[in-house]
Amino acid sequence: MAKISISEFTDPVCPWAWSAEPHRLKLEWTYGDSLSWETRMVGLSEDPAESAKRFTPEEMGKIFAMMSAKFGMPIYEGGPERMYASFPACCAVVATRLNDPLRAKPLLREMRRRCFYGQLIDEGEVIESAAETVGVEPADLKIWLSDDATESAFREDMEAARDPSPAALAMKRKLAESDGGWRYTCPSYVFTLGDYSLTAPGFQPYETYETALANLDPSLEQSAPASSVATALEWAEAQGEGALATVEVAALRGIEPEQARDELIEAGAEETLIGTGSFWSLLNR
């Protein structure tokens, strides 16, 4: 059976992409090896001054609070101490994708987590610490970042993000204006099987992705929801995703977040509070 490839256009600092993590994880759990993933960086801001033109830290804090309350992903309370750029984190993900592909997605996940823990994701020491957490040596990352191939690949990602498909252009409310044209917002998915592609631009309900996959290949096998919260947490650890938010466990279990929380407490999972949400991991692992 041919794999369906998913090109995910995203950015480590985007709160919409962070809020969509339960959908991504559920896709990976449900369809497994039937899908292959290509993570491409949008590149939302090159320097902090660029971000500061659009939002103040106080305004960003209000957006974070709204999104955390609505979608359930843990986000620290209050705004950042200053606005930050996304290019350094994007480049680190691209460099890892080129040189240590299996650690690229775990690094992106760890960078997202640190961003919404309240760390300044454009600072070198934060990026190096995130890399070390997922098994990438900071010295190696520094060498990869200095390679012209990293800059070239990142620019190719950005150009692709700013060349949305005709189908996406028909849904401009799901895109953003950029340099006189349009770009994908985060996360945007392009599903491809052979010569056929379907685009889901911007934040979407999970059912949108189900529909796209069913249209491309109705014979795709689907795994049942995780049988327990422990199974979900073990799977995430094995995938390099790290600890899971309550809403992510609920998505993998196919249950409501309230029930997931009760099951996590009963299972003795370790809880880490972040803002209005929680992350969970198995003890003694």
Of 174, 190, 216, which residue is a domain's last?
216
- The predicted structure's pLDDT at residue 187: 98
Token pair 């993590």 in the structure block, residue: 21
Residue pLDDT, tens place only, 229-275: 999 999 999 999 999 999 999 999 999 999 999 999 999 999 999 98
Token pair 């256009």 in the structure block, residue: 9
Chain centre to alpha carbon of residue 247: 14
Q: Is residue 212 located within the same domain as residue 236?
A: no
Q: Is residue 126 located within the same domain as residue 75?
A: yes
Residue pLDDT, tens place only, 139-194: 999 999 999 999 999 999 999 999 999 999 999 999 999 888 999 999 999 999 99
Amino acid at 88: P
**Domain assignment of residue 189, yes or no:** yes
Q: Is residue 270 located within the same domain as residue 154?
A: no
- The residue among 48, 115, 53 whose CA lies nearest residue 87 is 48
Q: Is residue 156 located within the same domain as residue 21?
A: yes
In the predicted structure, residue 35 carries a pLDDT above the cut 90: yes
Q: How many domains does the chain have?
A: 2
- The predicted structure's pLDDT at residue 184: 98
- The predicted structure's pLDDT at residue 51: 81
In the predicted structure, residue 1 carries a pLDDT above the cut 90: no
Enter the tokens of residue 61. Answer: 């804090």
With helix as H, strand as E and coil as C, how does the chain read? Answer: CCCEEEEEEECCCCHHHHHCHHHHHHHHHHHHHHEEEEEEECCCCCCHHHHHCCCCHHHHHHHHHHHHHHHCCCECCCCCCCCCCCHHHHHHHHHHHHHCHHHHHHHHHHHHHHHHHCCCCCCHHHHHHHHHHCCCCHHHHHHHHHCHHHHHHHHHHHHHHCCCCHHHHCCHHHEEEECCEEEECCCEEEEEECCEEEEECCCCCHHHHHHHHHHHCCCCCCCCCCCCHHHHHHHHHHCCCCCEEHHHHHHHHCCCHHHHHHHHHHCCCEEEEEECEEEEECCCC
In this prediction, residues 215-226 reach a mean pLDDT of: 96
Q: What CATH number is given to the structural domain containing 46?
A: 3.40.30.10
Side-chain-facing half-sphere of 35: CA atoms under 13 Å:
27
**Domain assignment of residue 183, yes or no:** yes
- The predicted structure's pLDDT at residue 186: 97
Q: Is residue 50 located within the same domain as residue 168?
A: yes
Residue pLDDT, tens place only, 71-107: 999 999 888 889 999 999 999 999 999 999 999 999 9
Of 160, 188, 216, which residue is a domain's last?
216
- The residue among 143, 168, 185, 167 whose CA lies nearest residue 8 is 185
Amino acid at 108: L
Residue pLDDT, tens place only, 48-76: 888 878 888 889 899 999 999 999 999 99
- The predicted structure's pLDDT at residue 40: 98
Q: Is residue 164 located within the same domain as residue 258?
A: no
Of 169, 188, 216, which residue is a domain's last?
216
Kindly report the pTM of this predicted structure: 0.94
**Domain assignment of residue 224, yes or no:** no
**Domain assignment of residue 221, yes or no:** no
- The predicted structure's pLDDT at residue 2: 59
- The predicted structure's pLDDT at residue 79: 82
Q: Is residue 165 located within the same domain as residue 268?
A: no
16 near 186, Cβ under 8 Å? yes
- Confidence band of 280 (pLDDT split at 50, 70, 90): very high
Q: Is residue 34 located within the same domain as residue 150?
A: yes
- The predicted structure's pLDDT at residue 162: 97
Q: Is residue 172 located within the same domain as residue 257?
A: no
- The residue among 244, 213, 254 whose CA lies nearest residue 32 is 213
- Confidence band of 284 (pLDDT split at 50, 70, 90): low
Q: Is residue 272 located within the same domain as residue 211?
A: no
- The predicted structure's pLDDT at residue 77: 87
- The residue among 10, 122, 18 whose CA lies nearest residue 75 is 18
Rounded-to-integer distance, Cα 134 and Cα 117, Å:
17
**Domain assignment of residue 170, yes or no:** yes
Q: What CATH number is given to the structural domain containing 274?
A: 1.10.10
**Domain assignment of residue 140, yes or no:** yes
Q: Is residue 81 located within the same domain as residue 148?
A: yes
Q: Is residue 207 located within the same domain as residue 257?
A: no
Domain housing 210: 4-216
**Domain assignment of residue 223, yes or no:** no
